[in-house]
Amino acid sequence: MKRSSLVGRYALISPAAILIFVFMLLPMLLMALMSWLEAGQFGGVKWGSYTPEAYLKFLFDRDLSDHLVFNTDYLSIFSRSFQLAGITTFLTLLTAFPVAFYIALQTPKHRTWLMLLITIPFWTNLLVRTYAWILLLRNGGLIDSSLHSLGVLNTPINAMYTPIAVQIGLVYAFLPFMVLPIYTSLEKLDWRLLEAAYDLYANRWQTMRRIVIPLAAPGMVAGCILVFVPALGTFFIPELLGGAKTLMIGNLIQQQFGVSRNWPFGAALSFALLAVVLMFMLIYALRFRGKGSLTQ
Name residues of the chain where pLDDT drops below 70: 1-4, 288-296
For residue 294, the model assigns a pLDDT of 42
pTM above 0.85, yes or no: no
For residue 54, the model assigns a pLDDT of 87
Domain locations along the chain: 120-160, 177-296
For residue 293, the model assigns a pLDDT of 43
Question: pLDDT tens for residues 125-180?
Answer: 888 999 999 999 988 888 888 888 888 888 888 888 889 999 999 999 999 999 99
Class of domain 177-296: mainly alpha
Calpha distance 247→238 (Å, rounded): 7
For residue 295, the model assigns a pLDDT of 41
Query: What percent of the chain has pLDDT above 90?
Result: 23
Question: pLDDT tens for residues 242-253?
Answer: 887 788 988 899
